[in-house]
């Protein structure tokens, strides 16, 4: 079955949102997606996009996507590629689509001069972990991910407001 990978265009936004929702369901957070088509259109397809997206198709049918943007390595003095989402619909798994997407993203990283690409995986997602390991990935387990959001972020932002 032929796999085609192409950059997403603005008309793909409804499809991108479907991929995002399907991935959230797989990650056991089906209600976590509040993003709208308007959000994705505004942030991905303006003059200075916050993100980029690839769509994988098999015989014209959308099968998977990769969603990425650029971070920065202070040690290397170069932008890196950050892969936010990589997803293939369940009915299209086992055809090499995930691998093809990952390879294409890696090729973009190399083309853009990024010395590395990074992403995250849920610790219970054994098939993905084994797949990434087979692709040459390292697991940076000494680094813990930290987040401040919602009211905690508002409080932190507000608590320094009288500072020069």
When binding is defined by CB under 8 A, the residue of 14, 39, 93, 130 that contacts its own copies is 39
Angle between helices 37-44 and 13-26 (to 10 degrees): 110
137 binds its own copies (CB under 8 A): yes
| 89 included as an active-site residue | no
CA 119, CA 102: separation in Å to the nearest integer?
11
Question: Which value, in Å, is the radius of gyration of the alpha carbons in the chain?
Answer: 17
DSSP 75: T
Neighbours of 15 (CB within 10 A): 15
When binding is defined by CB under 8 A, the residue of 1, 9, 61, 122 that contacts its own copies is 122
Contacts of 101 (CB under 8 A, 6+ apart): 5, 54, 56, 64, 65, 66, 86, 88
When binding is defined by CB under 8 A, the residue of 8, 12, 22, 40 that contacts its own copies is 40
Q: Which is nearer to its own copies, 34 or 60 (CB)?
A: 34
119 binds its own copies (CB under 8 A): yes
Chain positions 76 to 105 lying near its own copies, rule: CB under 8 A, are: 76-79, 82, 84-85, 99-100, 102-104
| Min dist. Cβ of residue 74 to its own copies (A) | 5
| Min dist. Cβ of residue 56 to its own copies (A) | 10
11 binds its own copies (CB under 8 A): no
């Amino acid at each position: 079955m032929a796999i085609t990978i192409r950059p997403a265009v603005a008309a793909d936004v409804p499809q991108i949102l479907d991929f995002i929702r399907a991935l959230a369901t797989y990650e056991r957070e089906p209600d976590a997606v509040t993003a709208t088509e308007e959000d994705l259109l505004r942030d991905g397809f303006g003059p200075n996009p916050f993100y980029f997206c690839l769509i994988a198709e098999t015989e014209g049918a959308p099968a998977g996507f990769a969603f990425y943007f650029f971070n920065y390595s202070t040690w290397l003095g170069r932008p890196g590629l950050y892969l936010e989402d990589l997803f293939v619909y369940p009915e299209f798994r086992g055809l090499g689509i995930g691998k093809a997407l990952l390879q294409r993203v890696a090729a973009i990283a190399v083309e853009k001069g990024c010395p590395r690409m990074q992403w995250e995986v849920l610790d219970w997602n054994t098939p993905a972990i084994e797949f990434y390991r087979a692709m040459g990935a390292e697991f940076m387990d000494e680094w813990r991910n930290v987040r401040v959001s919602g009211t905690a972020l508002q409080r932190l932002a507000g608590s320094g407001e009288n500072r020069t």
